[in-house]
Amino acid sequence: MATANQNPENIGFPMAQVVNFTTTNLSNGDPFVEPHTVSGPSGSFNVPVSAINIGNNKIVIPLTSNTSTGANFLKLHLPQPNSSTFYVTFCVKNRAMQDGYYDYTTGIPSDYRTDLRTFTRDGSGLIPSGGATYVKTLVFQVIGLDTNVTSAAVQYMVKFSAVFAGAGTGGSFPGVAGSFLA
């Protein structure tokens, strides 16, 4: 019997990045409470983002071309029915887990950090000797289920950035940030 995955809500920041979507009533500026659907990711990448739907509103993205047991992935927890909460967690493929992926809860191993930096560089060549900052942006479409007007959908971006001090020096762990596109 497989081990149940921990709810991303219980993992907490920074191991689980959370976004709560809201809709604004344009006539009075007040928040309009409704569940949201999220589709994606999309974007312009040198190396395709090979997103894999693993069911239950979860998508995983391999950080490298390796997708076997022990490989590192990003897991996107799209809003569940009647919800507006979106999570991003860091995980490794592990068949012992119910959904097939173990979410890190207390620390990220160095090989994961290396793979995430490579993923963020999006196939870029050598790091310039003076260093560089790389950003990889995943774009999602968000729409409220009650308003459900495609023309009112907004884009939401999850950005991964990595700052490298110079060739061969490692650099910092990529951060995760999100933003709405107006």
* Per-domain residue ranges of the chain: 8-181
Q: What is the mean pLDDT of the chain?
A: 83
pLDDT band at 127 (very low <50, low <70, confident <90, very high): low
Q: Which pLDDT score is estimated for 176?
A: 52
Using CB atoms within 10 A of its CB, is residue 49 exposed (0-12), middle (13-18) or buried (19+)? middle
Distance (Å, whole) CA 145 – CA 149: 8
The whole-number pLDDT of residue 25 equals 80
Read off the pTM.
Answer: 0.83
